[in-house]
Structure 1
Amino acid sequence: MAAAPGDILPPLGNPALLPPAKKVNEDPSFPQATPVVPSMIAEDWSKWSTLPPDLVRRVADSLLSTNDLDCYIHFRAVSPSWRAATDDPMSNTSDPRFRPRRWIILDEHFQSEGKFLLLNTHSGRFLHRNIPLLSDHYVVATTRNGYLVLADKSPPHAASILNPLTGVVIRFVAPVPPEVGSAAVVALACSALGLTFFSDSSHKTYTAYPDSESFVVHEVPQVAYGSLRKAVVGGVYSDTIGHAMIARLCCSLMSPHPNDLCFPVGLATETLLVGSVEGFILVFKTDIELGKLVALDNINNYAIFMGHQRCLAVDADKFPGIEANCIYFTEQLGSSAHIFKCNNKDRKVERISEAADFVKQDKKFVLVADRPLTIIHLLSSYTINIPDSQLALQQIP
């Protein structure tokens, strides 16, 4: 499926498909490139389009392995032969190869006129994506793996799941429940994409599949609701395990101190717990043999960002300015908030800047605009706020 013109900006770091320009050495000490004439371009593209299918698939698989699905779509658009040699994301919407992973959608502070800013937390690649579908849909939520959850603007506001990297839309029969919050999870079960919403007011979850007539309501004990919701917004929710198991896992990890801020967070193949415990920022893992939590002083090349709303881990090697084995967290001081950095090895804590990084406006913390923004600010903003559901805002009297 070829991307619509103008939908995606040229991806950063996307290798050029054209061969290098041929050179002629008029003076060996000053090599110069000769212009590439149109006939040469046509000839070169003709050669590229006749690559063996096995080689084309190997290149395509390399893009899928890094979850660069937008580059995969561009790759398939090169020629009919390349499309014939590779699988179409539209042909099987439940194929896990074409599901977004490792991506986050940065909040509305970085959005304008239907354009979203996405970030691959493993590769460090930013992507601006234009979403024409938003002209007749409300954004209800964004998921930790990179999906957009939408609702039709026309009643009864049927739900949809949009993969912004491939343009694939999964439409639901059931309307979005009016009382749901902005936290949502997209899960793969029984070869179909399912959708679960959370209601903070009632501590209930709402689940449906594309053919469901309505969302099924699940009562969640109050003590388990918060940990389950944190698992979802922290990206720990697994497609292979259900609500009950995630709730038990999170409850076993949560701090006994009710006022401490703790989040489960997925790091590589492990589920860890990070949080503020009696004034200390700590990272724990579960030691199955000992049957207890063990504090870690090394998370290798990862850095963890934790805010009031959610938490995520990134590969620090891919983000200049972010230090590995550190936890970046926000702390509210009156009507403002500051970003702090805690070294996970020696527990040393330092403030990122003397001035406040966020100011409170209504119920949200907004980045202070009179300074250059860094990647630390962008990721911290992602963790301190969760955008409100546009549908819920429209229904407020």
Structure 2
Amino acid sequence: MKRSRVDLLATAGSSCWSSIPGDLLEQISGHLSTDADLLHIHQACAHWRASTSPPASCRPWIRAVRTGWSRPLAPGDTDYSFWLPRRQHQRQVETRAPPAGVPYCLGASRGWLAMGDRRRVPWDPASGARPLTRLVLWDPASGAEVQLPCLRDATHVFLSGDPLASPHSWMAVASQRVADIAIKPFFWRPGGAAAWSPLGERNTAAFISVAFHGGRAYCVDAYRVVYVYDLGTAARPPALVGARNAGAMVDEIWKCHRFSYRPNGAHLVTGRAGGELLLVAWRRGPGIRWAEPAVSSCCSPLCSFFAVVFKLDWTRDEPELGERVTDLGEHALFLGHGECLALSSKEFPGIKRNHVYCVAPEWNVSSKHDRTLPDWAFVFDLGSGTSQEIPYPRELRDDGTNWRPFSWFCLRTPFMKQQQ
């Protein structure tokens, strides 16, 4: 069936764009999907500005979580918060309250929050803590909810697609804590089994990032091991078809006679133009205050870099690093403990092209080991190799909240004031 078209000029009754009815402009702006488009339509002229609203807060946001030494939760408090990634005067983003009965956040993926009725706590089988009994995907902008089967002791949830945009072709991967740092991975598909099914047959360390690409799930654990699961076969559970240490792969390419480049962390990102899978390896280079001294005679220029980006290929039945990526074009990468993002600066005007925005718990450990959080995040310029710190918000240092920056979160649609 052919979609009907709206003749804007005929609707306005004039050739002047400024005479388009305000209610029609408001309707059009409600269908725009990028922050940049909303800002452009709002800035076109005085009439358009009066008839439309800019985003309340440009995306993406930093998702922070409470720590083990945060003050106790008061009635109505959440165990997560959202913040704009500014270098100065960081601002908290207020969203609507979570659904009744599931106030605790267990992950963020594809613009959805995984909410449960039990807070994620340190693993202790003898604690007698009440198990998780509800697990819900929730969009804090629209309020939409998608029910998931419950998974006891779930810690993180990753989505391969948007449950509303592709209701029959997405899947979820979740981690179930089975020891202090060990997890057992599970997966679930809508229309399939009623309960979660094991993903592979072995336990791993906690997953730091998960990416879905080419019919496979690529998972990086806390020890920087990349596990690859084949999702395109009828095998139950999906077979583990490859596992390699990301640090070892980087070392094989960039040798240095003074010291190993072995990274402190590794993350996977998909979604950039071209659809390739990227592996981002980072280390604490000379630009960071607690870094090792610079090595001027090092044979590899990468030894002074904070982050390097490679294409990750699947060859000879194992993951291998492809060519190094030195220019992301109009895109920027966002790394954290959870889903990592590749976003276009043309669609998200609050970000810088060819930059890597970094936030993760392991970067925010005080050199004095005194539970202070000296930094909030880092912004790394992939072109110049320089980095800037986003300091920990001043107003949070002494209020007892102890928010820890944990991951990035990008809503499915622009965030408007009426959605707060």
TM-score for the superposition, normalised by structure 1: 0.50
Q: Work out which structure has the larger RCO, using CA pairs closer than 8 Å and 6 or more positions apart in sequence.
A: 2
Give 1 or 2: higher helix fraction: 1
TM-score for the superposition, normalised by structure 2: 0.48
